């Protein structure tokens, strides 16, 4: 499965706007509600695709929560279960997640890099967005 950065962007924004208390999102139980806040463009994404992307964001430290099983075993069944979790719980964005969203919104950085994100790695996206935010802050300070 390939990463869908547009879906990742939608997930991060949906988590940021969720206000349901301690456990913001519980999948698959809350899939219908999550699809509502995800937005029309991504509301039809397959449950397995949503869970896979949430797992990546949890593993990367962007979201607080858990998705699937973090154990690696040698059998293909165990590896498949790790890669395609059946459930996820999201508690919110981490500091790193908030920072990424804030940087991406600065000077419309996300919109500017969006055309090329399919060819970029996550670390390059994060670095590029941070540099663009820093440049915008410098321009703001210098007048």
Report the side by side order of strands in the sheet with 88-93. Answer: 25-27, 88-93, 63-67
Q: Which of 104, 141, 133, 106 is nearest to 10 (CA)?
A: 104
What pLDDT is stored for residue 119 in this prediction? Answer: 87
Model confidence pLDDT, tens digit, residues 68-124: 765 444 455 554 445 567 788 888 899 999 999 999 998 788 889 888 888 889 899
Instruction: Over range 51-76, report the average pLDDT.
Output: 77
Domain spans of the chain, in order of start:
1-93, 94-143
Determine the length of the chain.
143
Model confidence pLDDT, tens digit, residues 7-40: 999 999 888 887 655 456 777 777 777 777 787 8
Q: From CA 45, how far away is CA 7, in angstroms rounded?
A: 9
Q: Which of 61, 60, 77, 78 is nearest to 69 (CA)?
A: 78
């Amino acid at each position: 499965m390939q990463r869908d950065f547009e879906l990742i962007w939608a997930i991060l924004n949906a988590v940021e706007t969720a206000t349901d208390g301690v456990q913001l999102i519980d999948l698959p139980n809350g899939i219908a509600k999550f699809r509502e806040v995800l937005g029309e463009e991504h509301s039809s994404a397959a449950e397995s695709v949503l869970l896979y992307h949430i797992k990546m964001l949890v593993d990367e430290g962007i979201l607080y929560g858990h998705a699937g099983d973090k154990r690696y075993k040698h059998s293909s069944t165990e590896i498949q279960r790790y890669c395609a979790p059946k459930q996820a719980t999201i508690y919110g964005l981490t500091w790193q997640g908030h920072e990424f969203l804030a940087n991406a919104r600065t000077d419309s950085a996300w919109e500017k890099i969006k055309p090329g994100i399919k060819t970029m790695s996550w670390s390059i996206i994060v670095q590029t967005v941070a540099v663009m935010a820093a440049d915008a802050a410098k321009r703001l300070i210098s007048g």
